[in-house]
Amino acid sequence: MGILYLVRHGQASFGAADYDQLSELGARQCRELGHWFRRRGVVFEGVLRGTLQRHVQSLDALAEGYGDLPPVLPWPGLNEYDGEALVRAAYPTLRQPVQATSPEAYRTHFRLLREGLAQWMAGRTAPVGMPSWPDFVAGVTGALDHVRQQYQGDVLIVSSGGPIATAVSLVLATPPQTMVELNMRIRNSSLTEFAYTPRRHMLVSYNHLPHLDHPERLGWVTYA
């Protein structure tokens, strides 16, 4: 039985013109996670990641802390949904995206995102440049199936909150709405673990931060 480690990318550039860039803190989070894997003696048989910049940069930072990794398999099905496209599809008259420059604006952003997700998942909207919800799920399912079929040992996946929350929801056979609730609470650089066999995946842990469990790193915990 192997362990599949699903890692959410480190803190990106929330509120900036280009969100898809790892912040300096995000790089530190992932580097520390690499140190944690190395100290535990985890040896990866395989590595998959999404193709977004924050996935690439997170894995690079993790490798700085860990050392050499197996060849990386880019997997577009592990890419995140487009939050701005979801909100625009749900609220077509909204003139511009909500800039989360204050706690109130931050709450407004995630309220709109929740509704955008709900409408997309129900098939009521078709956000520009995005797959349908069934196709998004198929991308995540394909990655999970690949791990079961191709590996036996420990495997690393670096992705985003949406695909990881979807994977957990699939493994637990929960209603789709559960994915939204899981997604809203997932933390940057967090670990989710599945034990797996050739037949199935089994949830071991979700959204934990063992590499940041130190008084000096309490301020490193972020969500966006």
> Could you tell me the two tokens for 163?
């695909």
Q: Whole-angstrom Cα distance, residue 219 to residue 212?
A: 9
Mean pLDDT of 19-29: 93
Res 52 pLDDT > 60: yes
- Per-residue model confidence (pLDDT) at position 221: 95
* pTM beyond cutoff 0.85: yes
Query: pLDDT tens digit string along 69-98?
Result: 999 999 999 999 999 999 999 999 876 655
DSSP symbols for 24-37: HHHHHHHHHHHHHH
Q: Whole-number mean pLDDT of the chain? A: 94
Res 100 pLDDT > 60: no
Mean pLDDT of 133-155: 98
Q: Whole-angstrom Cα distance, residue 108 to residue 23?
A: 23
Domains of the chain with CATH codes: 2-81+131-220 (3.40.50.1240), 83-129 (no CATH)
**CA distances in angstroms from 83 to 26, 113, 182, 187, listed in the order given:** 20, 6, 16, 17
- Per-residue model confidence (pLDDT) at position 101: 60
Mean pLDDT of 166-188: 96
- Per-residue model confidence (pLDDT) at position 94: 79
Q: What is the dihedral of CA 30, 97, 76, 119, to 10 degrees?
A: 120
